[in-house]
Structure 1
Amino acid sequence: MGQTLTIKTIPYSIKIADSFFTRFKGLMFRKDPLMTEGLWIIPCNSIHMCFMHFAIDAVFLNKEGRIVKIIEGIKPWQFVKPIKNAYSVIELPIGTIRWLGLKLGEVIKL
């Protein structure tokens, strides 16, 4: 019997950071915390929270959009080491992972 494929959507406006500058800048220096939006950084397999003013949730995806790592409540000045098999990351408002019940292996559709 095969594994059930669960597809989740994120009910926020998601901006894409896919150029050198937008990936480098990310959410640095932003004063207001994320509320109903997120940032999808492509490609990306690790993040840092330098010059951040608020905590976030992070969902790392492989090339197929499958969740390979979830990290809740990353605080300013913390670092996330490279995640094996991660191709991109979605940075979301703190509490989103729990609110949406996101789990490893689920596919995110944006």
Structure 2
Amino acid sequence: MTTFTTERTSEPVPLERAATARARRRGLLGRDGIEGALLLAPANSVHTLGMRFPIDVAYLDRTSRVLAVRTMRPGRVGLPRPRARAVLEAEAGAMERWGVQRGARVAVQDG
């Protein structure tokens, strides 16, 4: 199972990777929720057109440092983040619970 942590995460968070272009385009569309988070890489923007629930979005730079965290309601289009290389998506409210905030570094562990 793949997980991620930050300096403020008390325990590892389950993580899915969207590694193909098709998986990145689909993201969380068609789902009613997610256990943990979804990592879209490479990516620098997302949309919530057709989504069923609001999501938290964390934009990560090339060193996996969080550039910004936003909550997006369904039916929105996010602006591209020029320095972002990956995007972490989760259900709204999850990023705050996990301590994912601007400046935090996300560490992914495969296992």
2: distance between equivalents of 1:45 and 1:8? 24
2: distance between equivalents of 1:24 and 1:101? 26
- Residue 14 of structure 2 contacts residue 36 of structure 2 at CA under 8 Å; is this kept in 1? yes
Alignment RMSD (CA, Å): 1.7
1: distance between equivalents of 2:18 and 2:95? 20
Under a length normalisation based on structure 2, what TM-score does the superposition of the two structures give?
0.82
State the partner residue of 1:86.
84
The one-letter code sitting in structure 1 at the alignment partner of 2:29 is M
Report the number of matched residues. Answer: 102
The one-letter code sitting in structure 2 at the alignment partner of 1:98 is E
Larger Rg: 1
The one-letter code sitting in structure 2 at the alignment partner of 1:18 is A
State the partner residue of 2:24.
23
Runs (5+) with no aligned partner, structure 1? 1-5
2: distance between equivalents of 1:8 and 1:86? 21
- Residue 8 of structure 2 contacts residue 99 of structure 2 at CA under 8 Å; is this kept in 1? no
What do residues 38-96 of structure 1 show as CA deviations (whole Å, max 9, x unaligned)? 11000000000011101110111001000011102x11111111012100001012111
1:7 CA displacement? 3.1
Under a length normalisation based on structure 1, what TM-score does the superposition of the two structures give?
0.83
Runs (5+) with no aligned partner, structure 2? 1-5
